[in-house]
Amino acid sequence: MKEIFVSARTLPEAYHKAITALHDEGLVLTANDWNQSQKEVSMTFVAMEPLAEPRVSKLYIGGFREMQQYVMEILDGILDFKIGDGWDYTYHDRMVNFPLTGDPDTGQEAFDQVRFVIDELKRQPDSRRAVMSIRDNNVDPFSSDPACLQHVQYLIRDGALHCKVLMRSNDAPKASFMNAFAFVMLQEKIAAALGVPVGSYTHRANSYHAYSRDFGMLEQYAQAIAGKSVSEITYEYEDFFQELMEESVPAILAQVSELKKKIDE
């Protein structure tokens, strides 16, 4: 299986290198669970300065509203109520409400891993223990849609908070940039709680792939990366994309409220 490592200063540049490498070097093989084929590599892409501009790639499915909703799902859990109503989990719920067997002394049945990461790195800034586990072996081995995100580790080195993400599977053209962007937002939130700057972001996908139904999309992305300037395939986040995202919040919350009402009826 092809192992690829790419690194760049900004998040879009690192993502674009990953997409190009998948397009150029990925092996086509079967994806029988999905009745199609896929192009696949094992990919690690690193953004050394993930908050640097330009911060947003244009090469992903959706726009500012979809990005804002996904960030709110990861940071705020706006769709956690869907667990048990067609969803087995959300990343947010696994992060802040991970199920425990129960402490016989305290009766604790859930574990806030975000709080743990912050407390652990306040206790010992050079700790290697600030890890959030997302996979739940009480659920995922028996699910047709197990969590793709497996774990996230945070390390303070050289006075900055670095983030290391591991995914078992990652849809490259459709999901990986939104995943990375939201995980960087969470990294930024945790760094603020710790009073340290944001360091590098590392995104590891054991299976970084594009399905055959999306080969055309992968080709378009690769052509755009090769043939267009950085400014043509990226957005500035501050003073542009951020404002658009924030303006979409009321509409997102209204839509979520309507969905929740339908589930409660």
pLDDT, tens digit, for every residue of 176-222? 999 999 999 999 999 999 999 999 999 999 999 999 999 999 999 99
Q: Please, what is the end-to-end C-alpha distance for the chain in angstroms?
A: 49
Cis before 54 (ω within 30) = yes
CA atoms within 13 A on the CB side of 161: 28
CA atoms within 13 A on the CB side of 261: 6
pLDDT, tens digit, for every residue of 124-166? 999 999 999 999 998 999 999 999 999 999 999 999 999 999 9
- How far apart are the C-alpha atoms of 64 and 178, rounded to whole Å? 11
pLDDT, tens digit, for every residue of 219-237? 999 999 999 999 999 999 9
Domains of the chain in start order, with CATH, are 3-264 (3.30.572.10)
pTM equals 0.95
DSSP assigned state of 124: -
Judge whether 9 and 48 are in contact, CB under 8 Å. yes
